């Protein structure tokens, strides 16, 4: 549909809420990475839906400021057959530019729907935002690497590496199209979703514990060489914060004139509604010697300036009202809006369900609707939604209890997710 939404010129990355692209559609890129090319940033990730975990494609977006995103294309769509064909899963797309060939190499996890047929696959493209050509499995010693959760790392000298769950690290060939050497094996204490960066001669390896789609306290290791020895250091976020309700995916170095800002990129998964309700958490990392930390959670910030940004103030709220709290399907709160952008603050906790937010014009035509997740294992009071910009005019916004909840089970039958359907809205206001 043609969007009436526009993007604001100011830079404020808001964590844990749906982001919208230049057409007013949700930025759909999960398990993501960012690549910088000639002053522009490219975001690659899983294009999810709310109805199936089947592979749809890996998306590509571009941005000049890491906040406002333009949809480029499905960089790698579903294949007609094979490892990324019908009835398959594709996850954790990571892209690197190969210094030797100039090609862009995408590595990913391929699997069946039961996660019992894992492969590391790869695809290539001549241009960063072109359509990537799937090449099949990545080989090591002539055999496919049959692993699942993965990441990549490109060292300062251009050497590429494949990172695999539970601490396997492979050095890639000069053309990045096969694994030449396993430089580290089963590093003790390394879990899922590995991510790596290097600063001042120290390698940092981040990973999460194994709790399915649930969040947990992620941890990190350090070493002076990728081959090790690796030392487990502990957590890089406050204990019990569950890594600010996220799972690590990538660390992107934002190179500035004076310094390099290390940006943690994490996923706030929301099973089963991953397409609409899963969100991103991007935060600046700090290192002191071998110590790594994200000292505090920034609800909104400017990544290029590395400064916190306040986007909402109670004095700017639309008019004050009592909190809306309900777990009754169909119960809702409505308010009128005059254009610009608005925010919704609320509480997520283990009793939360999905809230349906609908934006309609004065003729009750629905312009946009999105599911917002009010579930989190650790209670969180904060911004749950920020709208795209709307032209001046009259709009009606509805927040409705959907009567649905995030709920899933591990293979062994362990239950995860919400125990109720609550939606709680504490404040609604204009974005400054």
Q: Quick one: three-class SS letters along 298-359?
A: CCEEECCCCEECCCCCHHHECCCCCCEEECCCCCEEEEEECCECEEEEEEEECCECEEEEEE
Residue with the larger pLDDT of the pair 2 and 248: 248
pLDDT in tens, 214-243: 999 999 999 999 999 999 999 999 999 999
pLDDT in tens, 116-153: 999 999 999 999 999 999 999 999 999 999 999 999 99
Q: Which domains does the chain have, with CATH numbers?
A: 13-308 (2.115.10.20), 319-430 (2.60.120.260)
Q: Which residues partner with 192 through β-bridges? A: 208
Q: What is the largest CA-CA distance in the chain?
A: 66
**What pLDDT is attached to residue 246?**
97
Would you say residue 314 has pLDDT above 80? no
In the structure, what pLDDT confidence band is assigned to residue 312 with cuts at 50, 70 and 90?
A: confident
**What pLDDT is attached to residue 322?**
82
In the structure, what pLDDT confidence band is assigned to residue 3 with cuts at 50, 70 and 90?
A: very low
Residue 214 — left, alpha, or beta (φ > 0 → left; ψ -120 to 50 → alpha)? beta
**What pLDDT is attached to residue 212?**
84
Would you say residue 1 has pLDDT above 60? no
In the structure, what pLDDT confidence band is assigned to residue 53 with cuts at 50, 70 and 90?
A: confident
**What pLDDT is attached to residue 412?**
82
CA dist 5 and 388 (Å) reads 6
Would you say residue 365 has pLDDT above 90? yes
Is there a contact between 376 and 245 (Cβ–Cβ < 8 Å)?
Answer: yes
pLDDT in tens, 243-259: 999 999 999 999 987 78
Coil, helix or strand for 247?
strand
In the structure, what pLDDT confidence band is assigned to residue 432 with cuts at 50, 70 and 90?
A: confident
Would you say residue 4 has pLDDT above 70? no
**What pLDDT is attached to residue 320?**
60
Average pLDDT, the chain: 94
Q: Which residues partner with 371 through β-bridges? A: 356
For residue 115, give both structure tokens. 């996660």
Would you say residue 169 has pLDDT above 60? yes
For residue 226, give both structure tokens. 């990728």
The Cα angle at residue 104 between residues 103 and 107, in degrees rounded to 5:
130
For 80, list phi and psi in degrees, rounded to 5: -70, -30
Would you say residue 392 has pLDDT above 60? yes
In the structure, what pLDDT confidence band is assigned to residue 403 with cuts at 50, 70 and 90?
A: very high
Element (H, E) at 242: helix 242-245
**Average pLDDT of 345-350?**
96
pTM of the model: 0.95
Would you say residue 6 has pLDDT above 60? no
Share of the chain above pLDDT 90, in %: 85
**What pLDDT is attached to residue 16?**
97
Would you say residue 2 has pLDDT above 50? no
pLDDT in tens, 67-88: 999 999 999 999 999 999 999 9
In the structure, what pLDDT confidence band is assigned to residue 66 with cuts at 50, 70 and 90?
A: very high
For residues 67-91, one letter each, b for 16 or more C-beta atoms within 10 angstroms of the residue's C-beta and e for the rest, the string is bbbbbbebbbbbbeeebbeeebbbb
In the structure, what pLDDT confidence band is assigned to residue 339 with cuts at 50, 70 and 90?
A: confident
Share of the chain above pLDDT 70, in %: 97
For 189, list phi and psi in degrees, rounded to 5: 90, -5
**What pLDDT is attached to residue 8?**
54
pLDDT in tens, 182-213: 999 999 999 999 999 999 999 999 999 988 88
**What pLDDT is attached to residue 205?**
98
CA dist 272 and 338 (Å) reads 33
């Amino acid at each position: 549909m043609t969007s009436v939404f526009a993007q604001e010129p100011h830079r404020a990355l808001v964590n844990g809420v749906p982001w919208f692209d230049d057409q007013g559609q949700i930025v759909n890129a999960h398990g993501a990475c960012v690549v910088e090319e000639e002053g522009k940033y490219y975001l690659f990730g899983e294009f999810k839906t709310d109805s199936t975990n089947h592979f749809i494609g890996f998306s590509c977006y571009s941005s000049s400021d890491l906040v406002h995103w333009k949809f480029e294309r499905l960089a790698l769509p579903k294949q007609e057959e094979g490892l990324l064909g019908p009835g398959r899963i594709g996850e954790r797309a990571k892209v690197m530019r190969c210094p030797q060939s100039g090609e862009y190499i995408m590595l990913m996890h391929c699997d069946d729907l039961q996660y019992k047929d894992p492969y590391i696959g790869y695809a290539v493209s001549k241009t960063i935002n072109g359509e990537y050509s799937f090449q099949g499995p990545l080989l090591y010693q002539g055999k496919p690497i049959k692993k699942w959760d993965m990441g990549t790392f490109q060292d300062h000298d251009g050497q590429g590496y494949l990172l695999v769950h539970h601490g396997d690290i492979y050095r890639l060939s000069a053309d990045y199209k096969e694994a030449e050497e396993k430089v580290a094996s089963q590093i003790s204490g390394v879990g899922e979703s590995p991510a790596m960066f290097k600063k001042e001669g120290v390698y940092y390896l981040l990973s999460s514990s194994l709790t399915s789609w649930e969040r947990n306290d992620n941890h990190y290791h350090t070493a002076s060489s990728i081959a090790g020895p690796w030392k487990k250091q502990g957590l890089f976020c406050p204990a019990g914060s569950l890594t600010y309700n996220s799972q690590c995916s990538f660390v992107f170095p934002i190179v500035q004139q004076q310094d390099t800002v290390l940006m943690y990129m994490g996923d706030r998964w929301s099973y089963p509604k991953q397409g609409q309700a899963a969100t991103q958490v991007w935060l600046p990392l700090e290192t002191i010697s071998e110590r790594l930390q994200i000292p505090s959670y920034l609800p909104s910030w400017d990544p290029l300036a590395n400064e916190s940004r306040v986007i909402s103030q109670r004095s700017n709220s639309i008019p004050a009202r009592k909190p809306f709290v309900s777990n009754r399907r169909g119960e809702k709160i409505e308010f009128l809006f005059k254009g610009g952008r608005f925010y919704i603050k609320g509480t997520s906790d283990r009793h939360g369900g999905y809230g349906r937010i609908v934006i309609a014009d004065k003729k009750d035509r629905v312009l946009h609707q999105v599911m917002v997740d009010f579930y989190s294992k650790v209670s969180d009071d904060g911004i749950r939604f920020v709208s795209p910009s709307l032209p001046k005019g009259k709009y009606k916004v509805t927040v409705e209890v959907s009567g649905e909840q995030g709920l899933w089970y591990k293979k062994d039958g362990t239950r995860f997710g919400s125990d109720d359907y609550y939606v709680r809205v504490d404040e609604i206001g204009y974005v400054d």
